[in-house]
DNA sequence: GCGTTCGTTTCCTATTACCAAACGAGTCTG
DNA sequence: CAGACTCGTTTGGTAATAGGAAACGAACGC
C-alpha cells in the first residue's frame, strides 16, 4: 500500500481521459490539461498511437476502437455472459423491454450486457457502465448474496446518494437486503432514474460469482402488478436456464 | 517518425496484453513475459490497478471492465453509430440475420456494432473487431468510396491473404472496387469464413466519413437470389434512413 | 519439515522521462 | 499582405524516476 504508483502509467491514462473528454486533442491541449511541457504530452500521444490505443489524424489524436476491441473481448470471455447471452436475447424479444446482465467488480456494479427490445426505454445505460451497488435493484440483489464481510467492507466505503430516494443508511440497507433475500428478487421504481422501474433477480452460478439478471421498463408499466409478476416469472425462468448452462459448460 | 516512443507506455500495454493472454497473472508471470524484474512487473500491475484498468484479486491481477466502459462510450459517441442504431435493431428483427455496422480506422475495418437476430449465424465476430479492409464485403464497399490516394496508401501496405479466395493482387482488387461502385453494393460468399455470406452497402453520410452497413448470413441462404435481393433492398432502405438521420441530427 | 516460489516492500543507481529551445507550417490579425 | 502568433514536431541535456537487487512473510509442494 505504501509503494508508490508509476507516474508515467498514471499519466498515460490521464492522457486517455483527456482524449475522451475533449473528443480528440493535440499535444498543446494535453500539455495544458496535465500541466506538463508540450513535448512531454507529445511523447505520450505518440506512444499511445504506437501501441494502437490512439490514432493520429493530422496532428490531433483520438482514442481508437482498440478499447472497444479489448472491452468486448473481456465481455465475451466472461462465462456468465456466455451463459446468459442467448437468454437475454430471448427476454429482449419476448418482453420487448430492456433485459440487463450485471456483475460486480471492485465493489461496483457493472453492466456486462444489455439488449433493448422493440419497446425498450432509451436510458443512458451501456455495457461497461458502473454504478454503486446500493443504488440499483441489480446491485441490491448482488449485495444480498455476497459474503457478509465483503458487504461490510463496501458499506464502510460510504453510501453515495444519487437520488433523493437512495438508501444511504447502512442499517436500513441491510434490512432491505434481508427482504431481497427473502423475496428472491428486488424491485425499484423511480430510484435510479425517474420514470424507470427495474425488477432484478440474483444469478448465483457458483460460490465465487454473484451476478444479477434484470429488466428495466417505464415506471407506469411496472406499477401494474400482474405485469411485474410476468416479468419476474420470465426473469426467474431465464435465470434457471442460465445457471444450468453455466454449470454444464457450453 | 524518428522520435522514440516511451518505454513505460509500451510496457504497460504489453502488461495489458499479457493479462489478456493469461486471463489474469501475477508479478512473476508478467516479469517473465516482459523479461524484467518481478518488482518492476509489480509496479506496472499496481499502477494499472490504481488507474482502474486492472483489479487485484488476492495477488493475481485481471483486466477490468474499464476497457468495456471506455470502448462502449467511444462507440456511443460515434455519430454514425447513433444514426444507425435503431435501423440495425430493425434489420435484426425483420431479417433475423446478423446486421453489422463497419467503419474504417487507421486503414482497417472495425465492426462498430452488430446485433444478431433470432436466426443469426454464430460467428466469432464482435464489436471492436478489426479486419483488413480488402477481406470483407463491408471493407470493399468502404475502399470503393475512399479517396484514391488513401486507397493507394492502404494497398501499398500489402494485401494479406486470409483464405484461399482473398483477392491479393492490387489491380484485381481495384477492378473489383470499380464493380462495387457500379453495383452500389458488394456480395461475398465463403470469402472470410466458409459457410458465411455477406451483402454490404456503402454508408457515406458526409465527405469525411465512409462506413458500411452489411448483413451476414449462411451461404446457402444468400445463394438464393431473391433472398439476396430482399436483403439488399432492406439494407438500402435502412442506409437511406440512416443517412437522413445523420444529416438532420437526432 | 524444509525448500521453493510467490507477492510485496525497501533502497540504490542508471536509465529514461521530462523540460527547454528551436524549426517549419499553418492561421489569425492588423 | 505581412507580421505575429500557435501549432505539431524534433533535438539534446539533465534531473527525476523507473528498474534491479536483496530481503521479508506467507503459501505451497515435496
Predicted confidence (pLDDT) per residue in A54-96, tens digit = 999 999 999 999 999 999 999 999 999 999 999 999 999 999 9
DSSP B158-204: -----STT----HHHHHHHHHHHHHHTSEEEESSSSTTEEEEEEEE-
Nearest to B12, CA basis, from B42, B32, B55:
B42
Predicted local confidence at residue A216, as pLDDT: 96
Contact B129 A72 (CB under 8 A): yes
A249 versus B52: the higher-pLDDT residue is B52
> Among A191, A190, A155, A203, which residue's Cα sits nearest to residue A175?
A155
Task: List CB contacts (< 8 A) between A130 and chain B.
Answer: 65, 69
Sign of CA dihedral B103, B105, B108, B110: negative
For β-strands A108-114 and A196-203, DSSP reports them as: unpaired
What confidence category does residue B165 fall into, taking pLDDT thresholds of 50, 70 and 90? confident
B36 touches strand D (CB under 7 A): yes
Residues 6+ apart with CB under 8 A from A15: A30, A34, A41, A44, A45, A48
Average pLDDT over residues B178-197: 92
pLDDT value at residue B221? 93
- Percent pLDDT > 70 in chain A is 98
Which residues contact residue A154 at a Cβ distance below 8 angstroms, ignoring those fewer than 6 apart?
Answer: A107, A133, A143, A146
Predicted confidence (pLDDT) per residue in A193-214, tens digit: 888 999 999 998 787 889 999 9
- Residue A195, sorted as left (phi over 0), alpha (psi -120 to 50) or beta, turns out to be left
- Residues B197 and B212: their CA atoms lie apart, in Å, by 15
| Whether the Cβ atoms of residue B3 and residue A40 lie closer than 8 Å to each other | no
Distance CA A56, CA B122 (A): 34
Nearest nucleotide (C1') to the CA of residue A47?
C17
Q: Write out residues 2-21 of B within 8 Å (CB-CB) of A.
A: 3, 5-6, 8-10, 12-13, 16, 20
A65–B75 CB contact, under 8 Å: yes
Contact A5 B65 (CB under 8 A): no
DSSP three-state, residue B54 = strand
User: Quick one: what percent of chain B has pLDDT higher than 70?
Assistant: 99
Q: What is the pLDDT of residue A250?
A: 53
Tell if the CB–CB gap between B43 and A72 is shorter than 8 Å.
Answer: no
Look at A43-47, A164-168, B196-200 and tell me which has the smallest mean pLDDT: A164-168
DSSP code at position A121: -
Tell whether the model's pLDDT for residue A2 goes beyond 80.
no
Q: What pLDDT is attached to residue A60?
A: 97
> Which of A69-83, B12-26, B165-179, B230-244 shows the lowest mean pLDDT across its residues?
B165-179
Edge-to-edge order in the sheet of strand B108-114: B130-132, B108-114, B98-105, B211-218, B196-203, B186-189
CA neighbours closer than 13 Å in the CB half-sphere of residue B145: 27
Contact B197, B187 (CB under 8 A): yes
pLDDT above 70: residue B245: yes
The whole-model pTM stands at 0.95
Bases along strand C below 7 A from a protein CB: 5-11, 15-22
pLDDT tens for each residue of A141-170: 999 999 998 999 899 888 888 887 888 899
Picking from B51, B77, B118, the nearest residue to A10 by CB comes out as B51
Instruction: State the Cα–Cα distance between residues A80 and A250, nearest whole angstrom.
Output: 11
* CB-CB neighbours of A210 under 10 Å: 22
Distance in angstroms (rounded) separating the CA atoms of residues B226 and B34: 55
Chain B contact for A165, CB < 8 A?
A: no
Residues 176-215 of chain A whose Cβ lies under 8 A from any Cβ of chain B: none
Q: Distance between alpha carbon A36 and the CA centroid of its chain, in Å?
A: 33
- The confidence score (pLDDT) of residue A191 equals 83
Q: How many CB atoms within 10 Å of residue B174?
A: 16
Instruction: Please report which helix (H) or strand (E) contains residue B87, including its range.
Output: helix B79-95
Q: How wide is the angle at C-alpha A21 spanned by C-alphas A19 and A24, nearest 5°? A: 35
**Distance, angstroms, CA B108 to C1' D12?**
37
Q: How many other β-carbons are positioned within 10 Å of the β-carbon of residue A28?
A: 13
Nucleotide nearest to A5 (CA to C1'): D18
Q: Are the Cβ atoms of A51 and B127 closer than 8 angstroms?
A: no
Amino acid at each position: 500500500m505504501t509503494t508508490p504508483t508509476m507516474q508515467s502509467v498514471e499519466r498515460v491514462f490521464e492522457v486517455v481521459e483527456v482524449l475522451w473528454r475533449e473528443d480528440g486533442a493535440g499535444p498543446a491541449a494535453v500539455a495544458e490539461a496535465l500541466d506538463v511541457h508540450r513535448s512531454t504530452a507529445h511523447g505520450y500521444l505518440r506512444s499511445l498511437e504506437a501501441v494502437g490505443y490512439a490514432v493520429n489524424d493530422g496532428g490531433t489524436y483520438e482514442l481508437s476502437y482498440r478499447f472497444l476491441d479489448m472491452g468486448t473481448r473481456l465481455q465475451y470471455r466472461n462465462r456468465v455472459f456466455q451463459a446468459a447471452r442467448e437468454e437475454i436475447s430471448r427476454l429482449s424479444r419476448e418482453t420487448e423491454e430492456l433485459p440487463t446482465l450485471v456483475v460486480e467488480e471492485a465493489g461496483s456494479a457493472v453492466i456486462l450486457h444489455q439488449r433493448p427490445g422493440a419497446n425498450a426505454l432509451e436510458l443512458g445505460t451501456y455495457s461497461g457502465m458502473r454504478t454503486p451497488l446500493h443504488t440499483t435493484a441489480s446491485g441490491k440483489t448482488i449485495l444480498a448474496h455476497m459474503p457478509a464481510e465483503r458487504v461490510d467492507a463496501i458499506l464502510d466505503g460510504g453510501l453515495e446518494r444519487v437520488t433523493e430516494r437512495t438508501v444511504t443508511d447502512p442499517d436500513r440497507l441491510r434490512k432491505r437486503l434481508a427482504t431481497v433475500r427473502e423475496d428472491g428478487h428486488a424491485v425499484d421504481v423511480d430510484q435510479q432514474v425517474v420514470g424507470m422501474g427495474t425488477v432484478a433477480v440474483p444469478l448465483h452460478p457458483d460460490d465465487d460469482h454473484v451476478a444479477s439478471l434484470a429488466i428495466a421498463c417505464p415506471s407506469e408499466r411496472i406499477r401494474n402488478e400482474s405485469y411485474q409478476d410476468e416479468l419476474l416469472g420470465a426473469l426467474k425462468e431465464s435465470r434457471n436456464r442460465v445457471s444450468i448452462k453455466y454449470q454444464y459448460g457450453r
